[in-house]
Amino acid sequence: MNYLKVIDDKIRNLFLNMEYLWIESQDVYDAHWKSDANTTISAVTNSTDPVTVNSKLTKAEYLAGITLCEQLTNFFGNSAVTQSDYNKTIQNIIYGNDAAVGELSTSVESIGDRLKSLSEIALAQYKEAKDILELYNDNGISTQLSGVSAGDNLGCMEYSKELLTSYIVFIQQYVNMIGNAAVSTGDYRSTLSKRQR
């Protein structure tokens, strides 16, 4: 089996969804702060109170989702990421708790739905990223490429060893972020853009 080709295909698909994650996380974060959602959520007294109907989020889960969006924006934007158990945040948002009796506001309800969708994609990306790393590491790809010069193309791939290495670093750091490990800051938005070209 040509594992490089399999990895290349997986990276291509992963990065398409990562681009959505990057754009959507910025947009949801902005929507929270630039609509009435911020003040509406702030007015809810208890962190365990339900604040959305469809996504069944509590105030704490909703705010954790906004923090997730902020940290994803930091991740892609070459800023420090605060280490936390984002996998737990994602799971809580996906599965929700109790539905609110009624909508607090249209913006809160819409943002809750978007947080749930974003979390589902973030979790799928996390699983796919771990699968790529497993393929890369278990098949000794880095050892196979040890004699290849950084700028040399990799045959079945349209890019160099240097670019593949940067993609693997990107993927590892995303896994670290979601998996509650320290994240090395990098210009991952640029890495993402290179693969899209």
Residue 8 confidence (pLDDT): 82
* The total number of structural domains that make up the chain: 1
Tokens of 105: 């506001």
User: CA 30, CA 27: separation in Å to the nearest integer?
Assistant: 5
User: CA 95, CA 80: separation in Å to the nearest integer?
Assistant: 28
Residue 153 confidence (pLDDT): 56
Q: At what angle do helices 188-196 and 3-34 cross, to 10 degrees?
A: 120
Alpha carbon 27 to chain centroid, angstroms: 14
Residue 125 confidence (pLDDT): 96
Torsions phi, psi of 160, nearest 5? -90, 170
CA angle 63, 65, 66 (to 5 degrees): 65
Residue 68 confidence (pLDDT): 98
Tokens of 187: 């210009």
3-class DSSP state of 153: strand
Tell me the mean pLDDT per 10 residues along the chain, length 197: 76 89 96 97 96 97 98 95 97 93 96 98 96 86 63 58 86 97 91 68
- Range of 168's domain? 3-196
Residue 102 confidence (pLDDT): 94
3-class DSSP state of 79: coil
| Cβ atoms 28, 115 nearer than 8 A | yes
Residue 83 is classified by DSSP as P
Helix boundaries (H) for the chain:
3-34, 37-42, 59-76, 86-95, 106-138, 141-144, 161-178, 188-196
